């Protein structure tokens, strides 16, 4: 199924459960300021000039649709088992400043989410809907506060954000810097940066409502590779507190600066 948060996950580069996170003593923090850490992050990701030359992007890959459960009788006892998560083909287009289009192939049908920088729409044929539905107020709010394809740290000051060092932590046995990012509108997100590679390891995601209650979301960034001058993760895992199965996005191919028509980011195509 098409997740309304899928575009948010991709842009946010956006798992409390299963993450081995333990606070490090502040005395062990090397003498780097938040600004110096961000400078090293930008260099590790390919440099500011390379990101400034990025105007559009296309990702193709597979996106997890969530694990399913089924019941079997074993030796006279009813047992519930879990099937592996289905991986669905997807295409994600991005154009600055914040236009996006996400297509997911599902049961022979194409589900679509588009955002033109101001308004968003969803096409969900798997629900039996033939027409486009507008983003809900909450979906629109989430789309409007996304930092763009370069994430929360690259050009943060130009975006009106503020970055502070919140200490160090271990994330999956990696020593990381924990950075607090306060966006222009006041929204706060935390980003964890590997202290050796200076690549983002984890990003705090938008809390997700389950059973009427918000659950913390953590987005893990893995398998960084070079795409031209840029360095990008090719595996994104989202973990929701209280949900055992992680959601995966596998990026198989990246096209830098493809020519994309503005109409692609409207409900007209």
Domain coverage including residue 185? 6-265
Round to the nearest angstrom and report the end-to-end CA distance of the chain: 21
- The band of 81, judged by pLDDT with boundaries at 50, 70 and 90, is low
The answer to whether 142 and 206 are in contact (CB under 8 A) is: yes
**165 falls within a domain:** yes
**1 falls within a domain:** no
**125 falls within a domain:** yes
Is residue 11 scored above 70 in pLDDT?
no
Is residue 73 scored above 60 in pLDDT?
no
Exposure class string for 136-171: b at 16+ Cβ within 10 A, else e: eeebeebbebbbbbbbbbbbbeebebebebeebbbb
pLDDT at res. 129: 79
pLDDT at res. 152: 96
**63 falls within a domain:** yes
The answer to whether 46 and 230 are in contact (CB under 8 A) is: yes
Residue range 12-23: average pLDDT?
33
pLDDT at res. 15: 31
pTM for the whole thing?
A: 0.81
List, for residues 214-232, the tens digit of each pLDDT value.
Answer: 999 999 999 999 999 999 9
pLDDT at res. 65: 74
Residue range 155-171: average pLDDT?
96
**178 falls within a domain:** yes
Strand partners, 95: 56, 99
Is residue 239 scored above 60 in pLDDT?
yes
Residue 100 sits in a domain whose CATH number is 2.50.20.10
pLDDT at res. 243: 87
Residue range 243-253: average pLDDT?
92
The answer to whether 41 and 198 are in contact (CB under 8 A) is: yes
Q: Check residues 152 and 129 and name the one with the higher pLDDT.
A: 152
Please state, in angstroms and rounded to a whole number, the distance separating the CA atoms of residues 237 and 32: 28
Is residue 172 scored above 60 in pLDDT?
yes
- For the chain, the domain total comes to 1
pLDDT at res. 69: 46
Question: What residues contact 234, with CB distance under 8 A and at least 6 apart?
Answer: 61, 222, 223, 224, 225, 250, 251, 252
Most distant CA pair in the chain, distance: 65
- The dihedrals phi and psi of 193, each to the nearest 5 degrees, come to -115, 130
Question: How many other C-beta atoms lie within 10 A of the C-beta of residue 223?
Answer: 11
Question: What residues contact 8, with CB distance under 8 A and at least 6 apart?
Answer: 14, 142, 143, 146, 205, 206
pLDDT at res. 268: 74
**197 falls within a domain:** yes
Residue range 100-125: average pLDDT?
93
The answer to whether 143 and 88 are in contact (CB under 8 A) is: no
């Amino acid at each position: 199924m098409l997740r309304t948060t899928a575009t948010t996950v991709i842009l946010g580069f956006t798992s409390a459960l299963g993450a081995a996170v333990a606070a490090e003593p502040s005395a062990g923090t090397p003498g780097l300021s938040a600004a110096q850490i961000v400078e090293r992050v930008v260099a590790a990701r390919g440099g500011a000039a390379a990101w400034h030359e990025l105007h559009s992007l296309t990702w193709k890959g597979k996106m997890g649709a969530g694990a399913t459960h089924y019941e079997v009788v074993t030796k006279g006892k009813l047992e519930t088992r879990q099937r592996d998560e289905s991986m669905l083909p997807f295409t994600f287009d991005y154009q600055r400043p914040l236009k996006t289009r996400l297509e997911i192939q599902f049961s022979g049908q194409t589900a679509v989410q588009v955002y033109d920088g101001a308004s968003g729409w969803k096409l969900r044929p798997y629900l039996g809907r033939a027409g486009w539905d507008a983003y809900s107020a909450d979906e629109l709010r989430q789309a409007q506060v996304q930092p763009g394809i370069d994430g929360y740290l690259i050009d943060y000051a130009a975006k009106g954000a503020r970055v502070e060092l919140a200490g160090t932590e271990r994330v999956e046995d990696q020593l990381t810097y924990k950075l607090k990012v306060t966006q222009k509108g006041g929204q706060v997100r935390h980003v964890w940066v590997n202290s050796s590679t200076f690549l983002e390891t984890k990003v705090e995601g938008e809390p997700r409502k389950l059973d009427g209650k918000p659950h913390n979301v953590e987005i893990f960034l893995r398998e960084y590779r070079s795409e031209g001058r840029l360095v990008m993760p090719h595996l994104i895992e989202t973990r929701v507190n209280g949900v055992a199965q992680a959601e995966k996005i596998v990026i198989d191919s990246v096209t830098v600066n493809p020519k994309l028509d503005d109409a692609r980011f409207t409900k007209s195509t």
